[in-house]
Amino acid sequence: MYRALDIFFFAFHSMFILFVLVGWVWKRMRLAHLVVVGLTALSWFGLGIWYGFGYCPFTDWHWQVRYALGYTDLPNSYIKFFVDTLTGWNVNAQLVDVVTVAAFILASVLSVYLNVQDRRCTSKTPPA
């Protein structure tokens, strides 16, 4: 059971991160992307007050599964785990954190900007 959960969390969390990074590209997904980015920010900065900056419940749950499987040397960052797992490298954790925050800020700004543009275009369209 734990092995299946480990695979599920790896796939789900990876797809979630991919959506946070590029979900703004598809016009039909922009509002959902904005909501997901907002929830991510709420987790990182809101829950982060109590659990530490960048707190993610998906990482927390995944790490609980991996601890049950006997893994004990897990990084604080899921992104570091993901990059290390995919490449076989031991990437610098601080570098991963900086790139992660920069990418999140960029995706967030793009999401807000494009959602505002979409709303402006919709409001300027005359009714049929």
Predicted confidence (pLDDT) per residue in 17-45, tens digit: 999 999 999 999 999 999 999 999 999 99
Report pTM. Answer: 0.87
CA 87 – CA 56 distance, rounded (Å):
23
Predicted confidence (pLDDT) per residue in 63-92, tens digit: 999 999 999 989 999 999 999 999 999 999
What are the residue ranges spanned by the domains of the chain?
2-124
CA 90 – CA 83 distance, rounded (Å):
8
Classify residue 98 as exposed, middle or buried by CB count within 10 Å of its CB (0-12, 13-18, 19+): exposed
Q: What sign results for the dihedral spanned by CA atoms 78, 83, 84, 86?
A: positive
What pLDDT score was predicted for residue 127? 59
